[in-house]
Structure 1
């Protein structure tokens, strides 16, 4: 397919009338972005306070933007921090996917993310190959161990950054919370990462829009996917980038864990769907951006549990690819 397909995901808010008053809606701001939750509850309970509490606990554990969070203390050299179960689960998931993808997903790349100015700091003013080579010594999740709830590092400095998996993981935490309240039908979304269970208000699968790429910040959609008991996450380079003040070159926020430089991948966007946790598909989407199209396609040959939609560049044109197990709808096809 060579249609001018789309880069990243958003919830398609379809206005429809429904006599079913049991579906509740919550929305707000969290993790530096927005969130929404739609869930079927005959008791019409409002879980806003509980959800706010979960956001607070996850931020205190995993946010690199909060100076006194556990991860910030660890990154600043505090070896006495006893991490919580949120940190432990994200660390283990990250380790598994890091090994599986050959290091293309690696949260220790935070050192280079910060150096290039994509992290919580301002970045380095004069970054060069020698500095990058030095920082790469601290990159590699295999150099970090979690022993009895404490982080032990083989090399310093290091900088753990779970931002590429944290939104998806938080989506899972909220979804599990709803399930603990015996909610069977729900959709939870944070910054475009989505977890669904059951059906929507009309008794149908949840419909998610794949959005067109617009570099001017405007938004529109071109196609849809249907989800039921699945999660979806996307990673793309067309919104978050920097312009070199001297050369005018555009460089992306995805940092190649092998070189320490912004990725030169031909892959522009990766959307991943699976019955796995949203944290998992979030991490895979990030890894694929660094892998590039051909390596991602080869990797997917042995991952039938993943449904994937890719946008990549070939000979100056935008191309698309989707795995055979992914069904896509277009407007007007209903």
Structure 2
């Protein structure tokens, strides 16, 4: 027993020594319309900037609706000859799974409505009414698309893919995998608030991140601070990205895939945490915003692999928070 304890102490000692000998390195920049911050521990001199730039370019070429020559843009324009790459296929397959698990509350074919409401790269539709929205809903539904032998088939040519609700998280994963392929065990990749963390930080403890309060005035304050234990986190919220009409009506960027409307709910922010990929929690966080507070609570009860921190407005117009039962931070 003493020998076993002695070995354990040695393992802990050398483990700590190894981490202490590693240098914290930081990379910052811009990608996919937002900023990124990457931190990792390494004693190597490998420069990852060029490789990360190449990955960003590849993901954009595959899945960016803001690049007219990307694969997704060509598919949206009706090109049936496009053979998509592995990036597109993985995002497509993840989207199909989350679409099914959320009963369609997460649906990347909602792009035609995202554009119609003025939140996408295409022209918005003026004076949207129930008749126009109902007609557009014909072209929404991930069950109306398929992927076979690298080619996408759409039930209707008007179906418009929009992977923005999962794209940031996916790029986070691709960069994280790059570090793992290069034997970097301790890192945190953050792009536009979506984060994948592995190992520990420079102090030898799990990476800490803060969840912001939904401040609409541009100020920043934090609702809570958590640690990520080899986990990913994504946050979705409607408190910053919205449009207000001249008569004061507010439209948010999360579209209800069942009704087609972009109206505000009492759920202001959803942060979802899991040991799965960041793309997954990115999709789930978006689905939570589409579901609303009560439906999200019920969803979390049957998906205990997910942890969630929700910020909402109660019946007295007061800011409140909700933690899923397994939220242990």
TM-score of the aligned structures, taking structure 1 as reference length: 0.90
Q: Is the 8 A contact 1:263 1:290 kept in 2?
A: no
1:142 aligns with 2:139: no
Q: Is the 8 A contact 1:108 1:160 kept in 2?
A: yes
Residue of structure 2 equivalent to 1:75: 76
Residue of structure 1 equivalent to 2:276: 276
Q: Distance in 2 between matches of 1:221 and 1:259?
A: 33
Which structure 1 segments of 5+ residues have no match? 1-17, 329-334
Residue of structure 1 equivalent to 2:36: 35
State the Cα deviation string for residues 75-122 of structure 1 (Å, max 9, x = none). Answer: 001110010000000000000000010000000000000000000134
Flag the 1:219–1:264 CA change in 2: closer, same or farther, 3 A: closer
Q: Is the 8 A contact 2:214 2:268 kept in 1?
A: no
Matches within 5 A, 1:152-301: 152-245=153-246, 247-301=247-301
Residue of structure 1 equivalent to 2:10: none
Q: Is the 8 A contact 1:20 1:201 kept in 2?
A: no
Q: CA deviation at 1:127?
A: 1.6
Residue of structure 1 equivalent to 2:3: none
Residue of structure 2 equivalent to 1:133: 134
1:57 aligns with 2:74: no
Q: CA deviation at 1:220?
A: 2.4
Matches within 5 A, 1:54-133: 54-133=55-134
- Higher Rg: 2
Q: Which has the higher contact order (CA 8 A, sep 6+)?
A: 1
More displaced 10-residue stretch of structure 1: 81-90 or 118-127? 118-127
Residue of structure 2 equivalent to 1:22: 23
Residue of structure 1 equivalent to 2:13: none
Higher-helix-fraction structure: 2
Q: Distance in 1 between matches of 2:244 and 2:265?
A: 17
Which structure 2 segments of 5+ residues have no match? 1-18
Q: CA deviation at 1:222?
A: 4.0
Flag the 1:299–1:222 CA change in 2: closer, same or farther, 3 A: closer
State the Cα deviation string for residues 205-262 of structure 1 (Å, max 9, x = none). Answer: 10001112221112122420001210000000100000011x2111211100001111
TM-score of the aligned structures, taking structure 2 as reference length: 0.92
Q: Distance in 2 between matches of 1:95 and 1:222?
A: 32
Q: Distance in 2 between matches of 1:292 and 1:20?
A: 47
Q: Is the 8 A contact 1:22 1:44 kept in 2?
A: no
Q: Distance in 1 between matches of 2:34 and 2:187?
A: 20
